[in-house]
Amino acid sequence: MQEINIVRLKTDVQLRDPVLIVGLPGVGHVGKLVAEHLVEELKAEKIIEIYSKHFPPQVLVDENSEVRLVNNEVYTCSTEKSDMLILVGDHQSSTGEGHYQLCEAYIDIAEELGVKRIYTLGGFPTGQLTHTDEVLGAVNNSEMLEELKEAGIEFKPNEPGGGIVGASGLLLGMSKFKNIDSACLMGLTSGYLVDPKSAQSLLRVMCKIFDIEIDVGPLEERAKEMEKIVARLKEVEQQQQGIPEVSIGDDDLRYIG
Amino acid sequence: MQEINIVRLKTDVQLRDPVLIVGLPGVGHVGKLVAEHLVEELKAEKIIEIYSKHFPPQVLVDENSEVRLVNNEVYTCSTEKSDMLILVGDHQSSTGEGHYQLCEAYIDIAEELGVKRIYTLGGFPTGQLTHTDEVLGAVNNSEMLEELKEAGIEFKPNEPGGGIVGASGLLLGMSKFKNIDSACLMGLTSGYLVDPKSAQSLLRVMCKIFDIEIDVGPLEERAKEMEKIVARLKEVEQQQQGIPEVSIGDDDLRYIG
Amino acid sequence: MQEINIVRLKTDVQLRDPVLIVGLPGVGHVGKLVAEHLVEELKAEKIIEIYSKHFPPQVLVDENSEVRLVNNEVYTCSTEKSDMLILVGDHQSSTGEGHYQLCEAYIDIAEELGVKRIYTLGGFPTGQLTHTDEVLGAVNNSEMLEELKEAGIEFKPNEPGGGIVGASGLLLGMSKFKNIDSACLMGLTSGYLVDPKSAQSLLRVMCKIFDIEIDVGPLEERAKEMEKIVARLKEVEQQQQGIPEVSIGDDDLRYIG
Amino acid sequence: MQEINIVRLKTDVQLRDPVLIVGLPGVGHVGKLVAEHLVEELKAEKIIEIYSKHFPPQVLVDENSEVRLVNNEVYTCSTEKSDMLILVGDHQSSTGEGHYQLCEAYIDIAEELGVKRIYTLGGFPTGQLTHTDEVLGAVNNSEMLEELKEAGIEFKPNEPGGGIVGASGLLLGMSKFKNIDSACLMGLTSGYLVDPKSAQSLLRVMCKIFDIEIDVGPLEERAKEMEKIVARLKEVEQQQQGIPEVSIGDDDLRYIG
C-alpha cells in the first residue's frame, strides 16, 4: 500500500479559476461544518477520494449498515465568480509526519487543477462561552490582506499567538513555496463544543468573498448531528477505559526477562 | 527484515469456495474466542504464519518453556457448505500505520486463495453488565444484508456510532476495493471482561451461516484460560510501574543541555 | 516531500575558519536566547533554511498576520577571530529518530562549509531558583578542555549525570565521527522558567571565547518576549483540553468490533 | 544515516565455538550487571560498536567530561570451553519496530561470527522484596532443557506468563528461524530496584555453564554505581516536569485554526 492513495472519480476535470476551500475536523468543528455545508448547498460533485495509512485505522457505518474507510474527499462546483474545489474529511492525519505528507499531496492536487488560491477554514478557541461574531485571518502573502479585510475578516499582529497547527496552517506554509496565495479563516469559538454559530459567522464571510448567497439556517441542524457523533465517539472511548487488554502497551517495553 | 514476513507451511493449497473468518484480540475477546474455538472444534490445519515488526516485540512461552514469536496465523478446514480459512492471532498491530499494512497483506492472501467473502468477528461494548443474546452486524456491500438478517444478525442504522476500529473494520473497508463481500459480526458485551456468553451467541450465528453444529460449551473453559492470561499480563504491567528505568522517556526529550 | 528540505538562500558561501554555534529551544531556553541575541547583535545574515516533517506540523504568525512554516535557520557573520555560523530554530525534532536525521543534516552542512569546531548552547536544570553564574561544559575531545577552562567554563566528571539529550548532545556525539571538535556549553538554570540571567552568563563566556564585546542587557527584554510566547502556547494547550474530538485516539485502538 | 551503523573495531575475527551472551538494560538491570561484570572480569576486548536512530538521541558524559553517543557494544574473550561474545549496551530500542530491526542486526552478526548458541540475560519481576536464589529459564528449542536444568536453571510451564518482551525475548524468537539454539536466563528480582543479589545468582549459573570461576563480590559495587546513575536520571526527569515548553505536544495536534 502506498502512503496515500488518490482515487480519481472523474478524469479530465476542467476548471475556471478554481479556488480550493479546506474544511477538515478541528477546533469546534467550525471549518468542517462550513465546508460540508457548502458541498451540500452548492450541490458540489465529488471528484477525488484520498485514503491514507496516516488516517486512523477505522471505518464508519452508514444508515444502511454499510461501511466505508475513513478518508478525505475533494468536491467541485461552480459559482459565478469562479469554480470551487472543496476538501472535506473524517479526520486529519494521526501523526505529525503524516500531516506533512498529506498536505503535500493536497498541494500537488491543487497545482495540477490550476488552483491559484486556497482558503483553509477553522476555529480559534477563545476559552469564552459568549459568542463573538468575529472571523480571524492569517495569510501566506500580505498582499491579500486588504481584500480580505474588506470581506470582514479581522487581522491581529502575531495572532494566533500559538501559531496554527495541523492542515489549516501547514497548507498555508507549504503553498507559499509554490506561489499559491492562501489564507486561513478562523471563526472565534469557545473551544469546548461543536459551534454552529461560529460556523454561521464564517459562512457569511465566505459568501461575501465568493459573492454568493447561502442559507445559514441548516447549519444548526448539521451541528446537532455532528454533536451526536462526537458524543458517541466519547461514550465508546469511556466504555473502553475499563477493558482488560492483551495487547502490549508501552509499559511492557520495559523489557521483562 | 521485511515489514511483514509470511511463512507458508503448505504450498499448493486448493480450496473450495473459501470464506475467510477473522478473530483477533479485541473488545471482550469475543472474536478471538469464537475463531480459536472454530479452529479447535473443526480441527483446522495451520497453513500460514505471519510475523511483523508491527506486532509488539515479544515472545510467548509454552508449556515446555519453549518460546515463539508473537504472530497471526491462518488455518484451513472444510465444512459441507464451503472451505474455511480462519485468521487468529496474539495481537493486532501496535500502530495505526501497521494496521493498514497488515490488513493489506491479509487481503492479498485472501485474494490469492480465492476468498469471495470475509467475516470479521468482534465484540461491541454496551457498558452494561447484563447479557444480551444479540449479534450486531455491518457490511461492506448492502446486498449481503438480507441473507445475514436471516441468520439472526441485527443491523441498526449508523451502528456502531463510533465506527469500527482495527482489523475488524479495516478489512471490510479495504476488501471493498477488491470486490470481496465482507461483514463484521459483533457480539454485544459489557466491554469490561473476557466474555464467553457473548462468544456463544456469536458462535451460534456462525453455525447457522455455515450450516454446521459446534458445541458451545467449551467456550466457558476457554474464556477462563484467556482471563487468566489477561490477568497475568496486567499483573506484570503493574509490577513494572515501580521500576527505575535507565531508558530515556519523552520527558527527557525536553533537551537537557 | 523529502524528510529534510535544505533551502540555500546564498550559494558560493566563503568562510574563514568558521565555527558553528547552535542554540535551539531547550531547558530555560538559555541556548536559544544566546544564539538569537548573537544573530541580532552581530547582524548575522541568513543563508540557509531547514524544513522537515520531523518538526511539528505548524506555522507561526508574524506581526503582519503572515505565516511561515516552523523551521531551523543558519546565519553567518564575521568576528575578528573567525567567521561564525549560527543555527537557531523554532523547534527541535518531535521524534527520537528525527533528532538523528536532523543532526546528521546539520553536520553535513558544517562539513561542507568547512566548520572545524561546534559549540552547542543549552541550559542545565538545577532545580534551584537561586541564580548561579556558572557555565558547565562537556566536549567530544578532551584536548579542548584546557582552552575552554580558561574561558571560564566548568567541567565536572560525569556531569550532567543524565547525559545530554537532543541536538545539543547528539551533535557532539555525531561530529566526533567526522573529527570535528565540539563542546556543549550549559548555563545553570532552575529549569522552571525562561532564564535571561543564565543566558547572560553563557553569553559572557561566548564573548570571551570569540574575543568580542556584546551588550548583554537586551537579553532581559528578549527573554520577556519569549516568556510571553511560551505562556500563550501553554494557554492554547489548556483551552484545548476540554475540546470534544472526533479524531481517534489511542484508546480507540482497542479495536471496537 | 542508516538505521543501524555497525562499526567494526577489528576485522578478521576468528572464534572457536563462540557463544553469544546478551545483557542489555531491563528489569532490575540484572542482565546488564552480569554481562558487564563478565566483560570486566574476563578482560573481554571490544570488537564492534552499534549505533542506531532507534536508540534515544542522547550522549553520556565520562569522567573527563568527554561525551559518547549511546550505543550497544560487542566484546569477545576466551574461556577454556569456548569463545564468548558479549553484547552490552546503554539502552534498548525506543520503539517496538526498532527492537525488531536491532535484534535482526544482532542475529546477522551472530551468524557471521559462527555463533551456535545465544544466552540472553535478564530479570524476572516477582513483586516480592525477599530475595530468592532462583534463575528462571526459557528456550527456543526444548532439546536444550536437560542440559540447562543441570546447570541449576528452573523451568516452569508457560512462565513468564506475560511472555518475554524486548531484546531478551525477541532474540530467542528470531534466532529460531536461523536454527541457533537460544535460552533466556532470568534472575528473580523484586522489580523495584537494581538488584546485585539476583545478578550474583545468575552469574553463578553462567559460571557453571561455562565452567569458569568469577568473583561475584564486585557486583555489589557495580550495582551501587548503577543505582546512582539511575537515581540521577530520575532526578533530571523530575526537575524537567515543571519546565515551560515551546515544543508542540500531542495536545496541539488538535488543530488550532
User: What is residue A1's predicted lDDT score, i.e. its pLDDT?
Assistant: 66
A115 Cα to chain C: minimum distance (Å): 20
Chain D residue with the nearest C-alpha to that of C231:
D244
User: What is residue B246's predicted lDDT score, i.e. its pLDDT?
Assistant: 37
Nearest-angstrom CA–CA distance, A161 and B185: 48
Closest by CA position to A89, among listed A110, A103, A104: A103
CA angle centred on B161, ends B156 and B166, rounded to 5°: 110
Domain spans, chain B:
4-254
User: What is residue C236's predicted lDDT score, i.e. its pLDDT?
Assistant: 57
User: What is residue A237's predicted lDDT score, i.e. its pLDDT?
Assistant: 55
B245 Cα to chain A: minimum distance (Å): 8
For B132-160, what is the mean pLDDT? 96
Q: Which of D59, D246, D251 sits opposite C240 (nearest CB)?
A: D251
Instruction: Kindly report the average pLDDT of chain B as a whole number.
Output: 90
Q: Which of C184, C186, C253 sits opposite B166 (nearest CB)?
A: C253
Percent of chain D, pLDDT > 90?
A: 76
Instruction: Kindly list the partner chains of chain D, i.e. chains with 3 or more CB atom pairs below 8 Å.
Output: A, B, C
Percent of chain D, pLDDT > 70?
A: 90
pLDDT surpasses 80 at D242: no
Chain A residue with the nearest C-alpha to that of D93:
A253
CB-based contact B166 C27, cutoff 8 Å: no
Chain B residue numbers with beta carbons less than 8 Å from the beta carbon of D96 are 53-57, 94-95
Chain A residue with the nearest C-alpha to that of B230:
A246
CB-based contact C256 B124, cutoff 8 Å: yes
pLDDT surpasses 70 at D244: no
| Chain centroid, CA B122 distance in Å | 7
B104 Cα to chain A: minimum distance (Å): 7
Chain C residue numbers with beta carbons less than 8 Å from the beta carbon of D233 are 161-162
Chain B residue numbers with beta carbons less than 8 Å from the beta carbon of A241 are none
Q: Which of B100, B156, B245 sits opposite A1 (nearest CB)?
A: B100
Pairing state between β B67-69 and A164-165: unpaired
Closest by CA position to C102, among listed D245, A101, D1: D1
Q: Quick: pLDDT tens for B73-124.
A: 999 999 999 999 999 999 999 999 999 999 999 999 999 999 999 999 999 9
Q: Left, alpha or beta for D160 (phi > 0: left; psi -120 to 50: alpha)?
A: beta
CB-based contact A69 B173, cutoff 8 Å: yes
Closest by CA position to C162, among listed D95, D68, B250, B252: B252
Chain C residue numbers with beta carbons less than 8 Å from the beta carbon of A225 are none
Between C187 and B240, residue with greater pLDDT = C187
Q: Mutate which of D158, D230, D250, D251 to disrupt the B interface (most B C-beta within 10 Å)?
A: D158
Chain C residue with the nearest C-alpha to that of B171:
C257
CB-based contact C125 D233, cutoff 8 Å: no
Chain C residue numbers with beta carbons less than 8 Å from the beta carbon of D256 are 236, 240
User: What is residue B191's predicted lDDT score, i.e. its pLDDT?
Assistant: 86
pLDDT surpasses 50 at C74: yes
CB-based contact A67 B173, cutoff 8 Å: yes
B237 Cα to chain D: minimum distance (Å): 9
Q: Quick: pLDDT tens for C107-123.
A: 999 999 999 999 999 99
Nearest-angstrom CA–CA distance, D256 and C240: 9
CB-based contact B142 A66, cutoff 8 Å: yes
User: What is residue D234's predicted lDDT score, i.e. its pLDDT?
Assistant: 65
CB-based contact C103 D57, cutoff 8 Å: yes
pLDDT surpasses 90 at D240: no
C63 Cα to chain B: minimum distance (Å): 28
Q: Quick: pLDDT tens for D168-215.
A: 999 999 999 999 999 999 999 988 888 999 999 999 999 999 999 999
**Tens-digit pLDDT profile for chain A (257 aa)?**
689 999 999 988 999 999 999 999 999 999 999 999 999 999 999 999 999 999 999 999 999 999 999 999 999 999 999 999 999 999 999 999 999 999 999 999 999 999 999 999 999 999 888 888 999 999 999 999 999 999 999 999 999 998 999 999 999 999 999 999 999 999 999 888 889 999 999 999 999 999 999 998 888 888 888 777 777 766 655 544 433 333 343 333 444 44
- Give the 3-state secondary structure of chain A: CCCEEEEECCCCCCCCCCEEEEECCCHHHHHHHHHHHHHHHCCCEEEEEEEECCCCCEEEECCCCEEEECCEEEEEEECCCCEEEEEEECCCCCCHHHHHHHHHHHHHHHHHCCCCEEEEEEEEECCCCCCCCCEEEEECCHHHHHHHHHCCCECCCCCCCCCEECHHHHHHHHHHHHCCEEEEEEEEECCCCCCHHHHHHHHHHHHHHHCCCCCCCHHHHHHHHHHHHHHHHHHHHHHHHHCCCCCCCHHHHHCCC
CB-based contact D160 A125, cutoff 8 Å: no
Instruction: Kindly list the partner chains of chain B, i.e. chains with 3 or more CB atom pairs below 8 Å.
Output: A, C, D
Q: Which residue numbers of B have CB closer than 8 Å to D's CBs?
A: 1, 53-70, 94-95, 228-229, 232-233, 235-237, 239-240, 242-249, 251-254, 256
pLDDT surpasses 60 at C67: yes
CB-based contact A248 D186, cutoff 8 Å: no
Q: Mutate which of D3, D94, D234, D246 to disrupt the C interface (most C C-beta within 10 Å)?
A: D246
Q: What was the ipTM of the complex prediction?
A: 0.90
CB-based contact D165 A92, cutoff 8 Å: no
B152 Cα to chain C: minimum distance (Å): 17
Chain A residue numbers with beta carbons less than 8 Å from the beta carbon of B243 are 254
CB-based contact D65 C145, cutoff 8 Å: yes
CB-based contact C257 B165, cutoff 8 Å: yes
Between B239 and C210, residue with greater pLDDT = C210
C107 Cα to chain B: minimum distance (Å): 18
CB-based contact A67 B172, cutoff 8 Å: yes
pLDDT surpasses 90 at D245: no
pLDDT surpasses 80 at D57: yes
Q: Which of D142, D170, D247 sits opposite B64 (nearest CB)?
A: D142
CB-based contact A239 B91, cutoff 8 Å: no
B33 Cα to chain C: minimum distance (Å): 13
Chain C residue numbers with beta carbons less than 8 Å from the beta carbon of A89 are none
Q: Mutate which of B49, B55, B60, B67 to disrupt the D interface (most D C-beta within 10 Å)?
A: B67
A211-220, C47-56, C226-235, D98-107, range with the lowest pLDDT: C226-235
Instruction: Kindly report the average pLDDT of chain C as a whole number.
Output: 90
User: What is residue D252's predicted lDDT score, i.e. its pLDDT?
Assistant: 39
Strands (E), chain D: 4-8, 19-23, 45-52, 58-61, 67-69, 72-78, 83-89, 117-125, 135-139, 164-165, 181-189
Chain C residue numbers with beta carbons less than 8 Å from the beta carbon of B192 are none
User: What is residue B247's predicted lDDT score, i.e. its pLDDT?
Assistant: 37
Closest by CA position to A145, among listed A161, A132, A156, A134: A156
pLDDT surpasses 80 at D10: yes
pTM of the model: 0.91
Q: Quick: pLDDT tens for D84-130.
A: 999 999 999 999 999 999 999 999 999 999 999 999 999 999 988 88
Chain D residue numbers with beta carbons less than 8 Å from the beta carbon of A27 are 254-257
CB-based contact C237 D246, cutoff 8 Å: no
pLDDT surpasses 80 at B37: yes
Q: Quick: pLDDT tens for B226-253.
A: 777 777 766 655 544 433 333 343 333 4
Is residue B237 a contact partner of residue A252, using CB atoms and an 8 Å limit? Answer: yes
User: What is residue A234's predicted lDDT score, i.e. its pLDDT?
Assistant: 65
User: What is residue D131's predicted lDDT score, i.e. its pLDDT?
Assistant: 86
Chain D residue numbers with beta carbons less than 8 Å from the beta carbon of B65 are 137-139, 142, 145, 155-157, 159
CATH 3.40.50.10900 fits A4-254, yes or no: yes
CB-based contact A230 C244, cutoff 8 Å: yes
B153 Cα to chain A: minimum distance (Å): 12
CB-based contact D240 B256, cutoff 8 Å: yes
The band of B218, judged by pLDDT with boundaries at 50, 70 and 90, is confident
User: What is residue A155's predicted lDDT score, i.e. its pLDDT?
Assistant: 98
Q: How many CB pairs under 8 A join B and C?
A: 96
For B131-136, what is the mean pLDDT? 93
Q: Is D41 exposed, middle or buried (0-12, 13-18, 19+ CB in 10 A)?
A: middle
